[in-house]
Structure 1
């Protein structure tokens, strides 16, 4: 059932874009300010997120399967919250195709806003933004779903929202929460990209501090998919990086399928 859920979810997301009104960020923006920007220390926020995950999973478990499954798929689709990012990406590619460098830069800046790392600049920073968006809105959500169910995936989406609202304690917490799924995502990049270049980078930074999550993921991905960013108005580097991210999702699905066959997942 888990593999079927992932396949249906990604198929829905591929075929159509969820309405902006149903995006997680837009739904959370309608909640009281105390929920949007909680003023608690990060251990309290972590406890709240764990409680939310447990309660939601318990509710879905109590519902009949004919209701729980579609509700779970819908909640996961809402958690992806990827419509705006995909639209910005398409606008950027269209600008590159027209040769409109100014419009491409505007779209790039929008994509780069969630980044906190200062290691990359220029077109490399745009590539890093695409990779990080793929991680935050796909890889991390699917990782927590496989590990704990719909509840942890939704809890991660809420934490991601708090991070985007610049809640200081949430920004501390999400670095810790991201540490393990970032390593898993980077491992996928090494396997689906240039293994001999990426694996040394992966092993070299495996135990780096959570503050270096963005840099670490970027270094492994850049080694896995070597691109030429010398032409500021070329869409090819972006296309190559997005292709790498898509191959990584396929690797993730194949791994889940293998674990199910071996009886380690259900």
Structure 2
């Protein structure tokens, strides 16, 4: 069932332009407003309460699946929830705008679109090819692609629709708290570090399998059990090793800033296929339902 849901949702996500009502950010924002209106998301809220509020929707969904829905209705519900959680229309729009700006040779616009892809804790300054922390548009894009596709898929594979809801709600809340510089921001970042620890290493392993294995494997082994490096750095460093630009592509990159993002997007797409293949194999041998 999970494999069928993944194949169905990923196919539809590529074919259909989703409105805001078919994206998790809309409902995550509504849930945060509800918590704020009730006074449950205050600055003095404890970490335990904060984590409980993020986990609550996933728990309620899981109980509904177990006690109310049958097998077929659960399949329909899980497919709908996954369709809402996966993907990011804003990210896709920004990527298209960046490609258009790169084709025009508009480096100032490229810089603006690179800044728009900043993650929590990232610098807001960019020179069009890298932010102050040394990450390019393509590397930022690889990270956000992971957060909105690979990580959601892995949480869905592991825990079904409740897992996808919990991860997506936690990610959206972390981004919102970072933007507001909310006192609970550090709690949210710690939670996302824990939620991303295993999925980002699985995803980066898929990238080295789909990219340059011998060049990326030492980097993956170095970070496999590290607890003092962010998931963002793990993914971007390994992806840059797995898919390095050729001399011809580096020369083209000086003239067209879209070369590197296109190369890394192809790697990310191959990685999604790799995850689907592994899911298929696990389903065949009976490890997944």
TM-score by length of 2: 0.84
Aligned residues of 1:179 and 1:210 also touching (Cα < 8 A)? no
SS at the partner of 1:38? coil
Superposed, 1:21-36 pairs within 5 Å as 21-31=21-31, 33=33, 35=35
Among 142, 145, 148, the residue aligned to 1:137: 148
Q: Pick closer, same or farther for the CA change 1:115–1:236 going to 2, 3 Å.
A: farther
Aligned residues of 2:206 and 2:275 also touching (Cα < 8 A)? yes
**Number of the residue aligned with 1:252:** 275
In structure 1, distance between residues paired with 2:274 and 2:152: 15
In structure 2, distance between residues paired with 1:34 and 1:2: 31
Unaligned runs of 5+ in 2: 179-183
SS at the partner of 2:90? helix
In structure 2, distance between residues paired with 1:138 and 1:173: 19
TM-aligned CA deviation for residue 46 of structure 1:
3.1
TM-aligned CA deviation for residue 216 of structure 1:
1.3
Greater alpha carbon shift after TM alignment, 16-25 vs 180-189 = 16-25
The one-character-per-residue Cα deviations of 1:20-70 (angstroms, maximum 9, x if unpaired) are 233211223234536368343334333444443232122123213443322
1:70 corresponds to 2:76: yes
TM-aligned CA deviation for residue 226 of structure 1:
0.1
In structure 1, distance between residues paired with 2:32 and 2:165: 18
TM-aligned CA deviation for residue 86 of structure 1:
0.5
In structure 1, distance between residues paired with 2:103 and 2:140: 20
In structure 2, distance between residues paired with 1:163 and 1:95: 30
Superposed, 1:71-90 pairs within 5 Å as 71-90=77-96
In structure 1, distance between residues paired with 2:20 and 2:107: 27
TM-aligned CA deviation for residue 84 of structure 1:
0.6
Q: Pick closer, same or farther for the CA change 1:54–1:29 going to 2, 3 Å.
A: closer
SS at the partner of 1:30? helix
In structure 2, distance between residues paired with 1:200 and 1:32: 41
Greater alpha carbon shift after TM alignment, 146-155 vs 12-21 = 12-21
**Number of the residue aligned with 1:239:** 262
Q: Pick closer, same or farther for the CA change 1:81–1:42 going to 2, 3 Å.
A: farther
1:55 corresponds to 2:73: no
Aligned residues of 1:57 and 1:151 also touching (Cα < 8 A)? yes
In structure 1, distance between residues paired with 2:85 and 2:267: 22
TM-score by length of 1: 0.90
Greater alpha carbon shift after TM alignment, 100-109 vs 197-206 = 100-109
Unaligned runs of 5+ in 1: none
**Number of the residue aligned with 1:3:** 3
TM-aligned CA deviation for residue 72 of structure 1:
1.7
TM-aligned CA deviation for residue 147 of structure 1:
0.5
In structure 1, distance between residues paired with 2:210 and 2:32: 43
Paired residue total? 264
In structure 1, distance between residues paired with 2:261 and 2:240: 12
Q: Pick closer, same or farther for the CA change 1:32–1:215 going to 2, 3 Å.
A: closer
The one-character-per-residue Cα deviations of 1:123-159 (angstroms, maximum 9, x if unpaired) are 4421221111011101111111110110011011110
SS at the partner of 1:260? helix
Aligned residues of 2:87 and 2:149 also touching (Cα < 8 A)? no
Q: Pick closer, same or farther for the CA change 1:31–1:205 going to 2, 3 Å.
A: closer
